[in-house]
Structure 1
Amino acid sequence: MVLRSEVGTWFTRQPGERTPLGKLVGNYLLVVVIVVGVFWLSLYGAGVTLNFSFVTEYRTRLLDGFVLTLWICLGSLVLSMVIGIPVALAARSNILPLRYAADFYVKIIRGTPLLVQIYLFYYIIGTAWGVNNKTLSGILILSVFTGSYVAEIIRGSAASLDQTQLLAADAVGFTRVQSVRYVILPQMVARTLPALTGQLASLIKDSSLLSVIAVIEITQTIREITATNYNFFGGYIFLGAIYLCLTLPLMFVSSHFERKFAYDH
């Protein structure tokens, strides 16, 4: 009975209990082993043999595609902030055309698939305005798409600020600049960082769709390689591993920010 109780506590957690590191790692590894085991059994049942020899053969092309993916994501992140912050401010503006323009932009971009936006921008808007560089087009498309999500994150964070704190800042004699610096900005950072980090992870995954306009990032590179060697399973599993290596650290960082800036702390 004692042994059964100890085993039971290893797999359970009481409400409000902080999970010990050993228990956390042990249970997580158990889940990973089960998932990997089911995956390998599925491969065996389907008669699929994985071959990753192409990685060394095409290492230069893979590295170039990986680096381009990083540059596209970094450029899109910066430009999406440049777009998202003014849109968030416009959404809270008392000037109605600005307010409605921001609302229209967010609803249109968030309400339509990114794949549709890529085709429309590149083949219609890009052609009409002479934007022929595929990499530049990809950065602009991702920036416009992600900017709508950034705008909503910032707008929602600003709307959640407690107005009584601003009144208290006025009461103690803070200037507008001091209120922004010491009251608004710290709370905005705490509210937006976890969501923005998670949005960066989504941006990295969304960049794979640029392969439909033949931007030679990592997904398009894998598509070209697998079209040559017909190693589709190995190629796309390797591609998935690359994206996991990029997004998992960001997910952990986002979770860390959520715990660090949790209001009950």
Structure 2
Amino acid sequence: MKEKRGSIIKLLRIIGAIFISSFIYFLLIKFTGDKLVEKGYTFDFGFIFNNNQYLTMMLQGYKNTIIISFFSLILSVILGLIIAIMKKSKLYTFKFLATSFSEIIIGTPLLVQIIIFYYFVGTAFRLGDFYILGFKVESSYTIGTLILSIFYGAFVAEIFRAGIESIDRQQWESAESLGFTKFQQYRYIIIPQLIKPMLPPLAGQFALVVKGSALLSVIAIAEFTKKIQEIDSMTFKTAEVYIYLAIGYLIITIPISLITKYFENKFKIQGDE
């Protein structure tokens, strides 16, 4: 009972901190807005809801961001697990390839990788549009999803690697003594133990993927940021549209932050018990 009460108190503190931060952010925006009004700028936040075209564009971009981020996270988890297992392999070739991959990906900015992958790799291999269950998937969306998956897959690999290394050595030895193959060791012993402790960092990783997807606007993918930029170029209401942009991302990232903290506290309490 005491542990649950402590968890609730921690959650309330987090929510309180978010509200206080949001209030400070609001005051900052209001102060800046007042200065703009003094200089003759007229705010009109309702314009986007009064024009069906702008509202549709914004919602379409928002939907695309969520879809791209969701599939990027799934692929990055799969890739990250494979890379982490390769890093723990006894075969030097696998370990070298996995380590080199992580160092190159983590050591270069996402924006640089987007440009290189899209304009060089995408062009070289002529990645085209294709259909899944009757739905057309444009090449730019495929490339964008792959880029995010590869970039964040390197970070997810480090999360899995740390989790694998936290498993007691005796469990590996016991599995080997029972005749388990490496695949069986991971399938029945290691991976099931990684699920709970991996949930908080993976939830946090989703927030990073969502924010990172904004850079896909440089290759003209119609995600949230790109659509906001298009609305800005059509209306010249820069302040309003970018405030909507910030709010849109916060609507996704704040709940993820709360979920992450919830899982962290829950599993910490279970571990203490």
Q: What TM-score range do you get, normalising by the shorter chain?
A: 0.7 to 0.9
- Which letter does structure 1 place at the counterpart of 2:272? D
Q: Choose 58-67 or 31-40, whichever is displaced more.
A: 31-40
Q: Which runs of 5+ in 2 are unaligned?
A: 1-5, 129-138
Aligned equivalent of 1:33 = 23
Alpha-carbon distance in 2 for matches of 1:144, 1:27: 33
CA contact (8 A) 1:81 1:150 kept: yes
Alpha-carbon distance in 2 for matches of 1:92, 1:215: 36
Alpha-carbon distance in 2 for matches of 1:26, 1:210: 33
Alpha-carbon distance in 2 for matches of 1:22, 1:256: 7
Alpha-carbon distance in 2 for matches of 1:155, 1:259: 22
Q: Bigger radius of gyration, 1 or 2?
A: 1
Whether 1:44 and 2:52 are equivalent positions in the alignment is no
Alpha-carbon distance in 2 for matches of 1:49, 1:88: 53
- 1:39, CA displacement in angstroms? 3.0
Of 99, 119, 140 in structure 1, the residue corresponding to residue 146 of structure 2 is 140
CA contact (8 A) 2:7 2:266 kept: no
- 1:29, CA displacement in angstroms? 4.2
Alignment of 1:126-205 (within 5 A): 126-132=122-128, 133-166=139-172, 184-205=190-211
- 1:191, CA displacement in angstroms? 2.1
Q: Which runs of 5+ in 1 are unaligned?
A: 1-16
Do the aligned partners of residues 255 and 20 (structure 1) sit closer, same or farther apart at CA in structure 2, a change above 3 Å counting? closer
Aligned equivalent of 2:121 = 125
SS in 1 for 2:45: coil
Show CA shifts across 1:219-246 (max 9, x none).
1000001011111111011011001111
Do the aligned partners of residues 23 and 181 (structure 1) sit closer, same or farther apart at CA in structure 2, a change above 3 Å counting? closer
Show CA shifts across 1:161-214 (max 9, x none).
22245557789x796799767753443112211111100110000001000000
Alpha-carbon distance in 2 for matches of 1:22, 1:79: 30
SS in 2 for 1:261: helix
Alpha-carbon distance in 1 for matches of 2:193, 2:11: 34
Do the aligned partners of residues 90 and 126 (structure 1) sit closer, same or farther apart at CA in structure 2, a change above 3 Å counting? same
Whether 1:256 and 2:232 are equivalent positions in the alignment is no
Do the aligned partners of residues 251 and 21 (structure 1) sit closer, same or farther apart at CA in structure 2, a change above 3 Å counting? closer
Whether 1:240 and 2:240 are equivalent positions in the alignment is no
Alpha-carbon distance in 1 for matches of 2:154, 2:11: 41
Q: Choose 177-186 or 138-147, whichever is displaced more.
A: 177-186
Task: Among all aligned residue pairs of Structure 1 and Structure 2, give the percentage whose two residues are the same amino acid.
Answer: 35
Show CA shifts across 1:7-59 (max 9, x none).
xxxxxxxxxx7774897466764554344223312321343553222322111
- Which letter does structure 1 place at the counterpart of 2:231? I
CA contact (8 A) 2:11 2:261 kept: no
CA contact (8 A) 1:43 1:49 kept: no
SS in 1 for 2:272: coil
Alpha-carbon distance in 1 for matches of 2:32, 2:81: 46
Name the count of aligned residue pairs: 249
Q: What is the CA RMSD across the aligned residues, in angstroms?
A: 2.8
Of 61, 66, 78 in structure 1, the residue corresponding to residue 62 of structure 2 is 66
